[in-house]
Amino acid sequence: MSVVKLACERPEVAGRSLSQGDSTELARPLVRDGVVRSISPQTVQRLLAHHQLKPWRHHLWLSPKVPRDAACAAQVNEIVTLYPRPLAFHEVVLCVDKQPSGQPRPRKAPTKAAQAGRPVSVEHEYGRCGALNLFAAFDPRPGHVYARMAPRKRQVECIAFLAQVDREIACHITPIHIVLDNLRMHKGKQGQTWLVKHPRLVFHFPPGHCSGMNQVEQWVSIVQRKRLRIADCTNKAHVAERVMAFIAEWHEPAHPCQWSTKSVAKVMAKCDITLPKAA
């Protein structure tokens, strides 16, 4: 039971400067304190597996102090209702976000393609040439993406991107529902002033700690994994060109994003308020 006791304690509380323990780190104090003469990490791991303990893993959770009140329920319900409902021919729903760290990383040696028995080989050393931010608006129904690359992520850049979206979408489409996060650049005075002059754009904000409700997050993760993870670009202009090329290729097999209410159930788990069902 000493192994279980150690596994269920935070290492910091036990006087050790560790954020998380593993089988090796748990075996050492057992020998040091004379609990056993010797024990292998593999034995510790088998004992932990028997008790279904994995102290080397972690997950994030929301404390009860995070507000999950009527206002939160109303925000969640607004978006849950918006996503699945049939849209009129003159309206559209876009999910907007930005992806930072579009870094050009010129390598000291070219990246080598995969070969039999060997993965893609990427040179560890690379140069630093600044970074770009990808502003993206994802239409989850056809899977279409509107995008813009910018060196900074202020209200000015956000407004410029929204103006681009406003120009690219046909004039008869109104309203344009925009789902976006609760960032300062989305709620600042400049943005609000611009929004008054462009009333066909209607903002919808998920409550705090609910970024997963913004469906563009799924598409951004695809860009990060498929395009930006290995970015052997020479400069920022090259990054922008490659990302826009990826988006053009994305549109060829683009497909709708199916909304699920499972994430909503997780968000509202600590809320005593029952949401009305979406139409």
In this structure, is residue 149 part of a structural domain? yes
Same domain flag for 228 and 99: yes
As averages over each run of 10 residues, the pLDDT of the chain (279 residues) reads: 84 78 86 87 90 86 67 80 86 89 81 89 84 92 92 89 94 92 74 88 84 85 86 86 92 77 60 51
Task: Please tell me the predicted confidence (pLDDT) of residue 91.
Answer: 93
* Domain housing 14: 2-50
Instruction: Give the number of domains in the chain.
Output: 2
Return the number of other C-beta atoms located less than 10 Å from residue 252's C-beta. 6
In this structure, is residue 116 part of a structural domain? no
CA atoms of 47 and 53, how far apart (whole Å): 9
Token pair recorded at residue 36? 């056993």
Same domain flag for 14 and 134: no
In this structure, is residue 73 part of a structural domain? no
Same domain flag for 43 and 176: no
Task: Please tell me the predicted confidence (pLDDT) of residue 185.
Answer: 61
Task: Please tell me the predicted confidence (pLDDT) of residue 263.
Answer: 59
Same domain flag for 95 and 45: no
Same domain flag for 100 and 30: no
Same domain flag for 155 and 40: no
Task: Please tell me the predicted confidence (pLDDT) of residue 182.
Answer: 76
In this structure, is residue 178 part of a structural domain? yes
In this structure, is residue 71 part of a structural domain? no
Phi, psi of 254 (to 5 degrees): -55, 145
Same domain flag for 27 and 95: no
In this structure, is residue 139 part of a structural domain? yes
In this structure, is residue 145 part of a structural domain? yes
Tell me the CA end-to-end span of the chain in Å, nearest whole number: 53
CA atoms of 111 and 138, how far apart (whole Å): 31
Same domain flag for 137 and 89: yes
In this structure, is residue 277 part of a structural domain? no
CA atoms of 53 and 61, how far apart (whole Å): 18
Task: Please tell me the predicted confidence (pLDDT) of residue 279.
Answer: 46
Residue 229 makes CB contacts below 8 A (sequence gap 6+) with none
CATH number of the CATH domain containing 201: 3.30.420.10
**In the chain, what's the furthest Cα-to-Cα distance?**
79
Long-range contacts of 20-27 (CB under 8 A, 24+ apart): 20/55, 20/56, 20/57, 20/58, 21/55, 21/56, 22/55, 22/56, 23/48, 23/56, 26/55
Same domain flag for 21 and 97: no
Same domain flag for 143 and 224: yes
Same domain flag for 222 and 91: yes
Q: Do the Cβ atoms of 215 and 97 come closer than 8 Å?
A: no
- DSSP secondary structure, the chain, as one string: -HHHHHHTS-TTTTT---SS--HHHHHHHHHHTTS-S---HHHHHHHHHHTT--TT-------TTS--SHHHHHHHHHHHHHTTSPPPTT-EEEEEEEEEEE----BSSPPBPPBTTB--B--S-B-----EEEEEEEETTTTEEEEEEES--SHHHHHHHHHHHHHHS-TT---EEEE----HHHHSHHHHHHHHT-TTEEEE-PPTT-GGGSTHHHHHHHHIIIIISS---SSHHHHHHHHHHHHHHHHSS--PPPP-SHHHHHHGGG--PPPPPP-
Same domain flag for 133 and 263: yes
